Amino acid sequence: MLAAEAPERHTVRREKPLSTGSEWTFELLDLYDREFARLADKFRLDTYPNQIEVISSEQMLDAYSSVGMPLMYNHWSYGKTFLNNQQNYQRGRMGLAYEIVINSNPCIAYLMEENTMPMQALVIAHACYGHNSFFKGNYLFRQWTDASAIIDYLLFAKHYIARCEEKHGVSVVEAILDACHALMNQGVNRYIRPAPVSAEQEQARSREREAYIQRNLNDLWRTIPVSEPPQSRQDERFPKDPEENLLYFIEKNAPLLETWQREIIRIVRKVAQYFYPQRQTQVMNEGWATFWHYHLMHEMYDEGLITEGFILEFLHSHSSVVFQPAFDDPRYSGINPYTLGFNIFRDIRRICEQPTEEDREWFPDLAGSDWLDAVHFAMQNFKDEGFILQYLSPRVMRDMRLFSIDDNDINPYLEVDAIHDEQGYRQLRENLAALYNLGNREPNIQVYNVDVRGDRSLTLRHYLHQRRPLDRDSTHELLKHLHRLWGFDVKLDSVDQDNIIHYTFSTESTSERKEQVQVTSKKRVNP
């Protein structure tokens, strides 16, 4: 526990705890929030202003279903998730998360009204100071999202989509949204920073776009013959460079879409982009928030602001949050990001304060330095992949008893290629970090070519990573979605590093052929 790790403390014990019972009141929430704010200040947690809302479990389910966002536009899939969650919750199969927090300015956190005071305090510490400071501090969020605009933007999106439903019918809008949602993960820019969104600008821009297109839709001009440009080289592709953002490409280039359809694609794209940093920092974000709720609560306890019963209830919840079943446990479902993140952050502090010989060897810069500086630096400058690569210490690997398995379909067996021992640490760390690399996790699909002069068919390329093929059933379905947006045939080739096509999916016949690598008639395509 913290008390053992932090020998020097200059806190004053107070006589009277803030509260004793388990019931919460709004005054108490306020009181706790102020105390947390004071402590957060002490630990240099820089946050957006907090907006704490207390909601019922029903509303929490509702928020759950719309990917945690209030004001999300309407779509059937949210209703479906809602029903599913509701069922599970009513049958006691699923406990609700204690909180939902939204990366916005002010940062909105939802507490559930059924929770006890200790739980509410935990959630305030976790969400309003942990997550909130992460949203404000981490470089990905700073560069990629604009916290002050998101609520406005979602409001704009909701209204826009509702208006489209009125104007064009629910089912058409639904079809577009279905298709866009399917391509959401392929709808983000990974390298180019998006311009921050703002609702008013966005509205103005959308009107402008519409007006511009209206102005240019002048049939007179269409009849004027255009002199044929000299026949361009057949092998010049459109787009010239492969485009990674499928939704962006479709929004800008699909030949048959109406303006409002493009606008909806744009909305989904923006929302996907907004969530992109969250998907890349799950371990860090949760780890950071868990680390701080743990610290803040102990700090409160040390100051005598909370009672022993209170801290015990807190510890119980905390330990179930960071519970990590072993791989052979029936409850096991992958590495718990809370646990991993929490362990790494806590270990950073340990390395700073009580370094061992091993730590001095592995983290010469860290050992003995100021722990608060160290954790803040780690929080601000990494995403999951880099964070694990930089900070996963041998001690955490040993404590969690991590091991790595190599699953290569060439071999008839699985091989344990690294475990938590001297030879395995580096390999293990690299393997784990690679798992959090979105580039590895999600198939890399890019727009490769459009047959501009022919049948306007769209060719996508899936760049095989370690020979991992696409899932066949879902790929067919998704190509249908793509076809709906593009309006013409869509083809998807899976190619390896040498540009040899291994699999082809197509909407023309939905047939699929697999060319064995060994077959001599390899198909060479110019890169």
Partner 1 sequence: MTSVPSPTLTVAVISLSPEKTSVSRFFTTGRGGHHGHVHPGNHEFHRGDRIQRPPGGGGQGSGDGQASDRGEGADEFVFQINRDEFLEYLFDDLELPNLLRKELKDSTDYQLKRAGFTTAGSPDRLNIVRSLRAAHARRIALSGKDRKVIRTLKRQLREMEVSPDPVDQQQATLLREEIKLLNKKLKRLPFIDDFDLRFNNMTRVPLPSSKAVMFCVMDVSGSMTQEIKDMAKRFFLLLYLFLERNYEAVEVVFIRHHSEARECDEHDFFYARETGGTIVSKALLLTHDIIQQRYPPGQWNIYIAQASDGDNWGEDSSTCTNIILDKLLPVCQYFAYVEITDRHHQNLWYEYATIAESYPDHFAMQHIHSYLDIYPTFRRLFEKKEGSHVGR
Angle at 156 between CA 155 and CA 157, to 5 degrees: 90
Residues 453-472 that bind partner 1 (CB under 8 A): 462, 464-472
Cβ proximity to partner 1: between 239 and 469 the closer is: 469
CB-nearer residue toward partner 1: 59 or 278: 278
DSSP string, 236-268: --SSSS-BS-HHHHHHHH-SS--HHHHHHHHHH
Continuous segment of H or E residues that includes residue 112: strand 107-112
Q: How far is the CB of 471 from partner 1 (least distance, A)?
A: 4
Cβ pair 277, 140 in contact under 8 A: yes
Question: Which residues in 333-352 contact partner 1 (CB under 8 A)?
Answer: 333-335
Q: Cβ contacts of residue 28 below 8 Å, gap of 6+? A: 18, 19, 117
Taking the least distance from each CB to partner 1, the nearer of 223 and 333 is 333
C-beta of residue 227 within 8 angstroms of C-beta of residue 134: no
Q: What's the min distance (Å) between Cβ of 172 and partner 1?
A: 14
The least distance separating partner 1 from the CB of residue 481, rounded to whole angstroms, comes to 7
Cβ proximity of 220 and 176 under 8 Å: no
With contact defined as beta carbons under 8 Å apart, do 492 and 475 qualify? yes
| Window 307 to 336, contacts with partner 1 (CB under 8 A) | 324-329, 332-335
Closer residue to partner 1, CB minimum distance, 367 or 482: 482
- Name the strands in the sheet holding 107-112, side by side, starting at the edge strand that comes first in the sequence: 50-55, 107-112, 99-102
Close Cβ partners of 342 (under 8 Å, ≥ 6 residues apart): 286, 287, 290, 291, 294, 322
**Nearer to partner 1 among residue 365 and residue 407 (C-beta):** 407
Residue at 491: amino acid letter: K
Report, in Å, the least distance between residue 472 CB and partner 1. Answer: 6
Provide φ and ψ at 493, rounded to 5°.
-105, 135
Q: Which among 400, 431, 408 is positioned nearest to 326, based on CA atoms?
A: 400
**Residue found under tokens 């869509």:** 490
Give me the least distance between CB of 474 and partner 1, in Å please. 4
Single residue of 176, 188, 348, 400 touching partner 1 by CB under 8 A:
400
CB of 475 to partner 1, least distance (A): 7
**CA-CA distance, 118 to 132, in Å (whole number)?**
20
Per-residue contact flags (x/-) with partner 1 for residues 218 to 257, judged by CB under 8 A: ----------------------------------------
Q: Specify the 3-state DSSP secondary structure of 371.
A: helix
Which tokens sit at 109? Answer: 């956190």
Closest separation in Å from C-beta 321 to partner 1: 15
The reply on whether position 11 binds partner 1 by CB under 8 A is: no
Selected from 412, 519, 524, 527, the binder of partner 1 by CB under 8 A is: 412
* Site residues (CB under 8 A) for partner 1, limited to 139-198: 178, 181-182, 184-186
Smallest gap from Cβ 510 to partner 1, in A, equals 13
Q: Tokens in use for 281?
A: 């920092």
Of 11, 20, 56, 87, the one binding partner 1 by CB under 8 A:
87
Interacting positions 55-84 with partner 1 (CB under 8 A): 76-77, 80-81, 83-84
Residues 12-41: x where in contact with partner 1 by CB under 8 A, - otherwise, as a string: ------------------------------
Minimum gap (Å) between residue 87 Cβ and partner 1: 6
Binding residue count for partner 1, defined by CB under 8 A = 74
Q: Does 519 bind partner 1 (CB under 8 A)?
A: no
HSE toward the beta carbon, residue 451, CA cutoff 13 A = 11
Q: Which is nearer to partner 1, 136 or 270 (CB)?
A: 270
Among 370, 406, 498, 512, binds partner 1 (CB under 8 A): 406
Give the strands of the sheet with 490-495, arranged side by side.
444-450, 458-463, 490-495, 501-506, 513-514
